[in-house]
Structure 1
Amino acid sequence: MALTLAALAYPGMLGLDTVSSSQTRIIAQTQWGPLTEGDRDFVVKVRAAGLWEYPLGQIGLQKGSSKGVKTASEHLVDGHAALDASCRKIAPMLNITLPNVASPQQEGFVTQLKGEDGKQFDTDFANILRMTHGSIFNTIAKVRSTTKNSLVRALADQANDTVLDHMTVMEKTGLVDFEQTVFKQTTPPKLPSSDLTPPAPPAGQPEVVLTPPPTATSSSLDLNGLGGGGGAGTGTAPSPSPSPTVR
């Protein structure tokens, strides 16, 4: 039974790839509405994005050689700290296991940029992050328009605003090659699933927390008023016990 629950709580493929061929399959009934595989995987994707983009924002603040890159870095740190707090807030409510490190592909972006300086760093920073944000932008819209879970819907709202902001500040650097960026985000490389999968955290490992900057302007989700489900007949009434029933 424990293995079955673990398999439901942590998806087989994450990162920027499609995590399952059964995205609409309901895996739990919760007081906030049914939770599908796609809903669960979206929460994990948002968490994984922050685990590499937040530290990359910190690196950009140190290594960026232009005002535009430094401004974009500030937005990365601020936005992903708030999104991460929201993920960590709703994940236990929905019985979702979150990763503590990003996927190998995502970590590879960080390693690449750590080894660069000056104009090369600025250019690759802007283009990689514009590409990755563009890749998930359509996913957010789909989740927002189809989910019946009010917690996931609220996270999608926040993620939409954050990702749009990050795409915009990358574009404002003046370094984005749109032809190459759009091609890469619409024609991603065929990587093995292991490269796209953040590893599940070892049992008992403390949860990684992305600390908001002192000048934070973004905040995590306010869950007041989100006790209802996602439509007539899809959720149960709010109760003191938020744990979903896993099928």
Structure 2
Amino acid sequence: MFGWRRLWSAALLTAGLILLPGSAALADVPVPPENLLTDRGRGDISEADEDFVIKVRLAGLWEIPAGEMAQEKSDSTRIKRIGRSIADQHNELDELTRNAAEKLNIDLPDKPNKDQQGWLDEMDEADGPDFDGIYIDRLRAAHGKIFPAIATIRASTRNDTVRKLAQQANQFVMTHMTLLESSNIVDFESLPTAPPPAAAAAAATKAPAAAAVLSADESGLGGSNMPLLLAALGGGLAVGIVITRQVLVNRRPSYRRRNRYYAD
């Protein structure tokens, strides 16, 4: 009897763990700790690395004045708060960028490029809701463009200072995208769509079933995974039942012999 109880307890626990929703299993999204990264300026600097540092500097040169402009030209308290937060955070990111550039001997620009100045001119000519739409859409589109570039540098750079700056910039950009989207006026339909997957990526989807199970969806409970998970659970129960029966069968003779002994 004790063996059966252990079997069913283990089975219920396994089922609970397998079917546990991702939101309950993962309470907090991890934030990458910066103190685990070195920042000594060591490692080769590529042209892409240098271009990245310059672009981070350029982003602050127009987004800081744009956020300041929002305080005067927007009638929305929400837009003003978004502009204030992004401008303040870009001041912090700009300091990190200038420190990295000094360490790496990279010359930084001191004014926005032509496109960025054009966006500032657009905002300067608008007020109220018109300003809000231009401000949110221009900044959201710009962050969407630099976001994948940051990921490429973070994954490929050989220089530890650039690597740390890329990780820091990634956190700022994700925060800014979230703030901009919280305005609820982002025109997502106007944003560029992702390019179609490459042939190599398409071929990777034909990997063995085991690999497909691991990559189906984040919760691990996609439609294609559920039958496999239930089959695995059923198989585990079957094995447990067979083992438990065998243990009980093996114990019966000795139990009967002891009964006869005491009966005599």
Match of 1:41 among 38, 46, 51: 51
Give how far 1:33 is off. Answer: 0.8
- Equivalent residue, structure 2, for 1:53: 63
Q: Distance in 1 between matches of 2:195 and 2:93?
A: 22
For 1:134 and 1:185, the matched residues in 2 are separated by 14
Alignment partners' CA distance in 1, 2:191 and 2:86? 19
Relative to structure 1, the CA distance from residue 81 to residue 185 in structure 2 (aligned partners, 3 Å threshold; closer, same or farther) is farther
Q: 2:166 aligned to 151, 156, 159, which one?
A: 156
1:179 is matched with: 189
Q: Which residue of 2 aligns with 1:84?
A: 94
User: Equivalents in 2 of 1:84, 1:182: separation in Å?
Assistant: 27
- 1:245 aligned partner: none
Name which one, 1 or 2, has greater alpha-carbon Rg.
Answer: 2
Residues 59, 114 of structure 1: 8 Å contact kept: yes
Match of 1:144 among 138, 154, 166: 154
1:68 deviates by 2.2
TM-superposed CA distance for 1:65, in Å, is 1.6
Cα drift, residue 67 of structure 1: 2.3
Letter in 2 for 1:121: F
Unmatched 5+ residue regions in structure 1? Answer: 1-29, 187-247
Partners of 2:158 and 2:71 lie apart in 1 by 39
Aligned residue pair count: 157
Structure 2, unmatched stretches of 5+, are 1-39, 197-264
Higher strand share: 1
CA pair 31-182 structure 1, distance change in 2 beyond 3 A:
closer
* TM score, norm. by length of structure 1: 0.61
Instruction: Give the corresponding residue for 1:218.
Output: none
**Going by fraction, where is helix more abundant, 1 or 2?**
2
Match of residue 107 from structure 2: 97
Shift of 1:92: 1.8
Contact 1:132 1:185 in 2 (8 A): no
1:53·1:76 contact (CA, 8 Å) conserved in 2? yes
User: In the alignment, is the contact (CA less than 8 A) between 2:74 and 2:131 conserved in 1?
Assistant: yes
Q: Percent identity?
A: 40
AA matched with 1:179:
E
Question: Matched residue of 1:93: which SS?
Answer: helix
CA distance in 2, matches of 1:79, 1:143: 21
* SS of residue matched to 2:172: helix
Once the two structures are superposed, what CA deviation does each residue of 1:102-157 show, in whole Å capped at 9, x if it has no partner? 10111100001010001111111111110000110000011101111111011111
Taking structure 1 as reference, are residues 46 and 121 closer, same or farther at Cα in structure 2, changes over 3 Å only? same
Give me the whole-angstrom Cα distance separating, in 1, the residues matched to 2:144 and 2:165. 18
Given that 1:68 and 1:169 are in contact with CA atoms closer than 8 Å, whether structure 2 keeps it comes out as no
> Secondary structure in 1 aligned to 2:44?
strand
Q: Which letter does structure 2 place at the counterpart of 1:110?
A: L
Aligned to 1:194: none
* Distance change in 2, residues 1:67/1:49 (3 Å): same
Question: Aligned equivalents of 2:167 and 2:58: distance in 1?
Answer: 17
The reply to whether residue 69 of structure 1 matches residue 79 of structure 2 is yes
SS class of match (2:103): coil
Q: 1:185 to 1:122 in 2, by over 3 A?
A: farther
- Paired AA for residue 162 in structure 2: V
Identify if the C-alpha distance between structure 1 residues 185 and 83 changes in structure 2 by more than 3 Å, giving closer, same or farther: farther
Question: What is the alpha-carbon distance in structure 2 between the residues aligned to residue 33 and residue 124 of structure 1?
Answer: 40
**Contact kept? 2:64, 2:86, Cα under 8 Å:** yes
Give 3-state SS (helix, strand or coil) of 2:191's partner.
helix
**Larger relative contact order (CA 8 Å, sep ≥ 6):** 1
Q: Given residue 70 of structure 1, which amino acid in structure 2 is its aligned partner?
A: K
